[in-house]
Amino acid sequence: ETDTTTFGTLLINGVNYAYEVWWNGKHLVSSEGAFFRRTLPISLAPPGQMNFVAIKVAPPFHPGCVDKGGQGGDHMIAKDVTSQFVEGWDWIQPIPDRNTGIWGEVRVQWSGCVILQDPCVRVSFANASENDFTAAEVHLAVSCTNLSSSKLSSVVIKAAVTSESGEIVGQTWTKTVGLESNSCLTDIDLGCNMFSNPLLWYPSGYGKQNLYKVEITAEVSDRLSHEITTTFGY
């Protein structure tokens, strides 16, 4: 069953460099930095009305000297949190606008009061030193945010690995956490599970690039609030 209480978030995954965001005419945030991501709470416009998002973007504050290419020009752009090569290097011409613009995904997401973010999958092999890749350890972590103004004592996070055919492979994860109102827990350790005889991911030319998918869900009061997926290889 899905949570019928709907919360909206605007996800911004990359803007270069400084930017401001409006949703339905309301100013949400001013930010800077090419690699920072933002999750902004939003609400729907009244029935029958359109929803609008506006993003105003400005270039880096220290663009440096456009005329001096080569090994990073005058390196002034290093004062900003963005790519330095756009000022020119021995392998690329200077980029006049310094890659100003939206480069990451911008999307609207609807969920229950709890959302999941930043899944992290770490794979290791117990006997890799002996060239044995039949026993794999998969360590899983995720971040969890409470969008509501209520304290939540029991948020159930579940996860499973699936193959390319969609079948669940090996053990699953389950963990219950509590969340304060309007708060976030980062890098929640879901633990480590063992997997036998995984199909390995090989570099191009050496074999097939086998991939698996991790599906992670968050439940509140036995209702699905949010789910995310990510892929990984052994």
Residue with token string 């310094």:
98
Give pLDDT, residue 203. Answer: 92
Among residues 213, 215, 216, 206, which one has the least CA distance to residue 234? 213
> In 3-state terms, the chain is what percent helix, strand and coil (to 5)?
5, 55, 45
Distance CA 60, CA 97 (A): 9
Distance CA 105, CA 23 (A): 16
Distance CA 57, CA 18 (A): 6
Distance CA 189, CA 215 (A): 15
Question: What's the order of all strands across the beta sheet hosting 135-146?
Answer: 114-125, 135-146, 184-196
Give pLDDT, residue 88. Answer: 85
Q: Over 150-170, what HEC string results?
A: CCEEEEEEEEEEECCCCCEEE
Per-residue pLDDT of the chain (234 residues; tens, 9 = 90+): 445 468 999 999 999 999 999 999 999 999 999 988 899 999 988 889 999 999 999 999 999 886 655 677 788 999 999 998 888 888 888 888 999 999 999 999 999 999 999 999 999 998 988 899 999 999 999 999 999 999 999 999 999 999 988 899 999 999 999 999 999 999 999 999 999 999 999 999 999 999 999 999 999 999 999 999 999 999
Strand partners, 30: 20
pTM beyond cutoff 0.95:
no
Residue with token string 């965001």:
21
Distance CA 64, CA 68 (A): 9
Give pLDDT, residue 30. Answer: 95
Cis ω for the linkage preceding 234 (within 30 of 0): no
Element holding 137 (H helix, E strand): strand 135-146
Locate 206 and state its tokens: 């050496």
In this structure, are residues 99 and 90 in contact, taking their beta carbons and an 8 Å threshold? no
| 208 phi/psi in degrees, rounded to 5 | -80, 145
Q: Please state whether 123 falls in left (phi above 0), alpha (psi between -120 and 50) or beta.
A: beta
Among residues 7, 20, 28, 11, which one has the least CA distance to residue 106? 11
In terms of C-beta density within 10 A (0-12 exposed, 13-18 middle, 19 or more buried), how is residue 82 classed?
buried
Sign of the C-alpha dihedral, residues 173, 177, 181, 186? negative
